[in-house]
Amino acid sequence: MLKKLISNKIFWIFLVSHIFLLNVNYAEWGDTYRILRASEFIRNIDYPKDEKRPPLFSAALAIRPEGVEQISWGRGEMLFFSLASFVIFFLLMEEFDISDRAKEYALLLFTFNPVFLYWSLRIYADVPFTALVLLFFYLLKRWKTSQEMKYIYLLGVIAGLAILTRFEGYILAVSLGLLILTDNEVKKRLPNLLKYGLTILIFILPWLVYRNPLQSKYLSEPAGRSYELTMVQILFTSLLYVFGFTSSSYFFSRKFNILKQYFRENKAMAYFIGIELLLILLWPAAIPRLFVPIIPLLIVPLSLAIDEYFSENKENVLFDLALLGGLLFFYLLAQYWLRLQFLILIKPLLFAAITIQFVNLGSIFYRNEKLFKFSLTLSLIIWSLASIWLHKDIFKAVVDANLYITNNL
C-alpha cells in the first residue's frame, strides 16, 4: 500500500503544493492566537477558563521544542495533519470497490478543494479533526468487513479523540451509535454499543469533569442570532459550489442513484453529514470552515458519478445544457447577491473562473473527458488560489503594529 501511495503522482503534487504554500499567509486569524495561547497554558499544566475549545489540538501544539517560534511550529504541524488526511483518504479509497479513474478524480478533487486547501494552511483544528473523521470511517469500513471486536474499541478511541479536538466530535460519536442501533447487519447491538460508549467515556471523562459540555459557550452562541431565509440560501449555495467547479451538482442529479446507494451502504456517514449540515445551518458565520470534515466524504460519490457519466455513450439533450447553464448562472447570481468570499471575489480571477466553467460545461455536454479533466483541474487551482490570495494578508496591519510596538516602544 505504501508503494502504491508513493508512486501516485497526485500525492507528490499534494505534498509539494502544501510545502510551497506553507507560509503564504502573512498572519493568522484571531482564533489561532487563542489556540496558541491555550497551548502555552498546557505547557504550564493548566488550561484557560475562558477557552471554549476542547484541548487536544492545543495540546498537540504544546509539544513545541523550547526556542521554536509558535507560528512556524503550528504551520509545520498543519502540514503533518494535512498530509495525514491525504494518506487516510487514500486508504479509505482503497476500501471502496471503485475504478482507478474514480480514485484519480477523488484524489484530484481532494488535493485542490478550495475550502480544504485554504484551511489546511491555517492553524485551526478543522483539518486535524478531518483526519480523525477519515480515520474513523476507514476503521468503520474495516470493522464492517471483518467484524473483529478490536475495531469497536479503536472506533471508541478515535471518537474520543475527535470530541477532544472539536465540539463536532460528539456528532461523529453519535453517528456510529445510530448505525449500531438502526443497521440490521450489526450483530450484538447492545454489547457493541456499550463497549463503544465506555471506550469513549474513558477517554473524555477527565475533560468532562474539568469542563461540563452542557455549559459550553458553543451552545449559547446561536441564541443571540436572528434566523432568516438568507441562512438557508447561504447553506444551499455553499453546498452547490463547495467542490471548486459549478457543474458538480449536475453529476449528483444525473447519477442520484449513486448518491442514494453510497449513503445506504455508509449509513454512519449519512448520519454524520446530515447532522453536520444542520449544525452549519445553525452556524452560518462559520461557513465554509464547517464544511471541511464532510467535503472528503462527499467527494467519493461525486467521483463515482463523474466516472460513470464518462463511461456512458448516451447523447445529451437540451435539458442537460439548460441544467449546466443554470448552475453557472445561479453561481453568478449568488455571488452578486450573497458575495461569499470562498466563491471568488477577486474580479480578474472571477472572470478567469467563469471562462473555465464555460469550457467545463462544454466538455461535459459533449462528453470530452480529456477537456473535462483539464478544465476541472484549472478551475480547482484558480478557485483555491483566489481563496488563499484574498485572505493571505488579513490582519497584516495589526501584526505590523504589534511588531513595531514590541521593537520600538
What does the pLDDT look like over 238-259, one tens digit per residue? Answer: 999 999 999 999 999 999 999 9
Lowest mean pLDDT among 141-145, 298-302, 375-379: 141-145
Q: State residue 364's pLDDT score.
A: 96
Q: State residue 226's pLDDT score.
A: 65
4: pLDDT confidence band, cut at 50, 70 and 90?
confident
CA-to-CA dists, residue 341 to 242, 287, 295, 313, angstroms: 12, 10, 18, 38
Ramachandran bin of 317, using left for φ above 0, alpha for ψ from -120 to 50, beta for the remaining angles: beta
Q: State residue 224's pLDDT score.
A: 60
**Which grid cell sits at 233?**
440560501
Q: State residue 229's pLDDT score.
A: 79
Average pLDDT of the chain?
91
pTM over 0.85: yes
- 304 pLDDT more than 90: yes
In angstroms, the CA 357 to CA 354 distance is 5
- 188 pLDDT more than 70: yes
Ramachandran bin of 151, using left for φ above 0, alpha for ψ from -120 to 50, beta for the remaining angles: alpha
- 221 pLDDT more than 70: no
Q: Which residue carries 462559520 as its cell?
A: 286
Q: State residue 404's pLDDT score.
A: 67
In angstroms, the CA 286 to CA 333 distance is 22
Lowest mean pLDDT among 217-226, 376-385, 389-398: 217-226
The more confident residue out of 334 and 36 is 36
CA-to-CA dists, residue 73 to 2, 41, 69, 76, angstroms: 27, 16, 6, 5
- 86 pLDDT more than 90: yes
Lowest mean pLDDT among 54-63, 151-160, 335-344: 335-344
The length of the chain is 409
- 277 pLDDT more than 90: yes
In angstroms, the CA 146 to CA 65 distance is 41
346, burial (CB in 10 Å: exposed 0-12, middle 13-18, buried 19+) = middle
144: pLDDT confidence band, cut at 50, 70 and 90?
confident
Q: State residue 219's pLDDT score.
A: 63
220: pLDDT confidence band, cut at 50, 70 and 90?
low
Please, which contacts does 314-319 make with residues 24 or more away whose CB atoms are closer than 8 Å?
316/365, 316/366, 316/367
In angstroms, the CA 39 to CA 60 distance is 8
Among 4, 169, 195, 215, residue whose Cα is nearest residue 91: 4
Contact call for residues 202 and 166 (beta carbons, < 8 A): no
- 185 pLDDT more than 90: no
CA-to-CA dists, residue 354 to 131, 236, 345, 368, 377, angstroms: 32, 20, 12, 19, 14
Share above pLDDT 70 across residues of the chain, in percent, rounded to a whole number: 95
